Structure formats: structure tokens, C-alpha cells
Amino acid sequence: MLKFVIRRILILLFVFFMLTIILFWMHIRLTEFDAERLVRDYLYFTSSIVRGNFGISTGSKLPVIYELRMYLPSTLELIFFSFILSFVAGTVTGIAAGLNHHSIFLKGVTAILRLTTSFPVFWLGQMMITIFAVELKLVPTAGNISLFCDVPLVTGSIFIDSLITMDSENISSMLKHLVLPVIVLSFMPATQFYLLARRASFTISEMDFIRMAISRGQSQFFLARKHIFLNIIPSILPKIKIILCNLFSATILVEVVFEWPGTGIWISTAVEHSDNAVLETAIFVLAIIFLLTNTVIDIMGEVFFPEKRRINLNI
């Protein structure tokens, strides 16, 4: 296991090195540079971003690190809640479908979910706003909290900062603004988790020990909790990296559609104003978060499922 962890860390460092090369090229591509000072400029550039010195935004004239602390927590909380919702909903329904794979109803659900994965997330977001916000007026149309709520900026996460105030009006407004973006963002990953869990559950349900448990009259809830869930995790865990990658990219679009004050709005504004410092910082920070997440997932698979992760369930 130690060799595996070391190998993953070395791969992470190599990818980080390549990322700094790409960002340095973005940094100097529009300026004149001295080839003799190229290495020294690269080392200075790399040491600056490692220390968190990302320069000054040309749009707001503020330090980029200050803007990052404002926008990044909102994006991370959106990704966190969307991932939790999609994992729980997709895995639970997928296990149920795998244990009842002869059900015509569940086959129809699977066919519909396969079809809906082709819906663009920005189109789905606009449809949800039209139905639930404009027509039914159940939730707000945009933003992360009402303008009439006074929530002090402590962590940058509107969820945590609203809970800190202990004000029921702030918490209620925050939850109403959170529900639609989270549902829209978790729709596609929930479908992916559903299909993965369904296939893995179907494979495991055909094994002898599951058939024996069914013959003894064990309930499906007991089978799912005791046998199925832990056995399908090694099959789902490697796919989480791909799902998270799609989730990160979809978050940018969802934030723009719902005017959620996160990195999506930040990046789109930077593109409009050709703010290179912001674009370089956003690419670097999001890439590092994604790389660290992938490394942690790989190490978790090796630590918790050293043998099961190598079993191919043909999913």
C-alpha cells in the first residue's frame, strides 16, 4: 500500500508541474519575455502561486486571492450538496432496481433516465426556473440569499454563514435559494450513480450467497444494507472521479444560469473583461482541487478495499 500511495503522490507532483508550465505559458504568451530569464521567471511565477500571490484583478483592482475567498466557498458548497444528494438518491434507487431487475416499471425508469442524461444542464436549469420559480413561485429565481437578509461574511459559504447567524429568516431564504441549483446539478450524477449501482447490484444479486439469503426469507432492505451496499462501493469508487469531473464543469454553467455568486460568475466576468489573472487563478485552484480529490479517492480505494477494488464486476 505504501508504494501505491507514494506512486500516486509522485503522479500528483508531476501533474502539478505540468499545470504550472501551462499556466506560465498563459501568463507570458501576450508579453515579451527574455529567453535568458525564462527559468528564473518560471520559478518566481511558481513560487508566487504556491504562496497564494495570484496578482491583482484588472477588473475589480482587488487582489485575486481576496476574490477567490469570496467566490470559491459558494462553489464548493454547491458541489458538496449536489454530490451528497446525487450519491444517496442514485445509489439507493440503483440498488432497488438491481434487486428487482425483472420489474417492468424499473426498466421503464432506467430507459427514461438514460434518455434524460442527454439534457443540457443549462436547459434543465432554465426549465426548472420557469416551472418552479416563475409559474409556481415556490422558490427564488436567482442568487443564493434574499437581498433583504443581512448575513455577515465569515467563511464565504452562505450555508455556514447563515447558520452562524441563527436567524430563521436567513436560514429559510438560504435553503430556498439552494434547492433548485442543487437539484439541477445533481440530476446527471444521480443518474450515473443509479446506473452504476443498478448494474453492480444486479451482478452481486446473482451470486450464491445472495440467493441463499433470499431463500432464507431475508428482506431486500436487509440485503441492501448488509450485503449489497458495501460490495458495490469498490465498483462505484473509481467512477466517482469521472462523475466529479463532470460535476465541476456543470457547476460553472449552473452558477451562471442561477446567478449563483460562485466561480462560474467569477470566470464568466473575467472572460468578458479579459482578466487573465483571474482566469489563471481559477484554472489553477479548480485543477488542484480536482487533482487532490482524485488522489484521495484512489488512496481510499487502496486503504479500505485493497482486494475488492481489483474485482471486475463488468459494469
What does the pLDDT look like over 248-269, one tens digit per residue? 888 988 999 998 988 988 998 8
Q: So what's the pLDDT on residue 315?
A: 40
Please list the ranges in the chain whose pLDDT falls under 50: 309-315
What's this model's pTM, rounded to 2 decimal places? 0.85
Q: Distance between CA 69 and CA 262 in Å, rounded? A: 10
CB 55 within 8 A of CB 49: no
Place of cell 487563478: 281
Q: Distance between CA 299 and CA 86 in Å, rounded? A: 22
Q: Distance between CA 193 and CA 136 in Å, rounded? A: 30
Q: So what's the pLDDT on residue 312?
A: 42
Q: Distance between CA 50 and CA 64 in Å, rounded? A: 14
Question: Residue 308, class by beta-carbon neighbours within 10 Å (0-12 exposed, 13-18 middle, 19+ buried)?
Answer: middle
Q: Distance between CA 232 and CA 253 in Å, rounded? A: 31
Which residues fall within 8 angstroms of residue 63, CB to CB, at 6 or more apart?
Answer: 54, 55, 56, 57
Which residues fall within 8 angstroms of residue 221, CB to CB, at 6 or more apart?
Answer: none
